[in-house]
Structure 1
């Protein structure tokens, strides 16, 4: 699943491709991608201009004229690409925005898990899934104090807590494994069991890891590509994710992989301390 660094990279690469373009027609080859009313989605976007693209956590916010926003979640394998209107349709193309200049933005999704929702600009944090999310890394709201309070309320593992998006939003399986290794925390540690010094270290490492991953244009380990069809670069810097059985780069202990609530989780049993 594209996580915050990947979605930010998609935003940065997609924006110059479509900013200022006017939508002539919307085609829904698979209407279930649309979480709002599909017919209304098609009709209301005609003649709307792409003003900018924002992002919150793993959500893209495509801002349109007329005070409208398309809230897009890529889920597991969603991708955007710009083509000519008459380009042959790929079997996994599900939504097309045709522009007045003859180009077209296509949304491609092998698993069809991604979703788009049309809302009034400014309401996305009330009427979409964003309403359930905590603050983003490197945002003013993601303070050590807020992070400490959020962890104290959780009576489950730190791996599950960081994945549920309510304490901090934007991390998925890859970056949770990486930041827990960096902070020397066992993934089965209880979220409410850390000393204050360890909470601050985890908070700071989340910020620095996400910042670095964005600089490296995200991580490609399966199918992730940006809007220009290019892979990320952070996969070359992964310390634990995808390295089961290999020696820990810090202590040489073979890395282990377990399931935590169904999610594959790679860690070092020697370096990463369990807190209970």
Structure 2
């Protein structure tokens, strides 16, 4: 069995950074690599989830200007909304909401992001123990990789023209749909990125917008999961273990930063079919190896 330390952390950091934002499942790949190296058990499960924080920091750095504008806009718009409510006596709530949704795009984008986060958060909180105990296996990853690959091919076979062309145009209804789609990613191998991008495409988002929205939705989703898992693992990890975890996070940050830029450029010119073929081939190979 491989010992958890700096060398293994670097390997897992590279795998995490390469796969977190591609529709191929970073958790699935970490499980496969862990089993291949003999790194399994509680420490492995905790490390595989916690190391994702590095990739999330890469999104924050890469999208820092948009995040800054959204936060600044949200702060200004919530004050404007309070004034609107105060000054609109007698006006219906429906009318107020319609007015606000048009006048306060940053605020409603952030509200939508919170709404999209909730379904997977609720299901994950209730089913996390069962999922990690029963589904963190190579055969589960193989099956869901193949299933996810065919889902991508089905969606790409009948492409829909995107009607939502910028992030601040993503509606509350579209956010709900993407949030429900993200629940599929709780099953190892289904891919959080793949589930949310496909959910976005089906909801009517432009391909680049669906991809970028997936990045933003990863922020609350993975930060919450990482903090929760790291807190739970505080008794499992020693000081040396946390040092190795930090190394893995730095590596995943650097690799993910490069992948984010490359993937955004890729989806503007290409479909996701190549990832579907990769998923199917990977699943078949894993079934053969672990038969």
TM range (shorter): under 0.3
Point out which structure has higher relative CO (alpha carbons under 8 A, 6+ apart).
2
TM-score (norm 1): 0.24
Which of the two has greater strand per residue? 1
TM-score (norm 2): 0.23
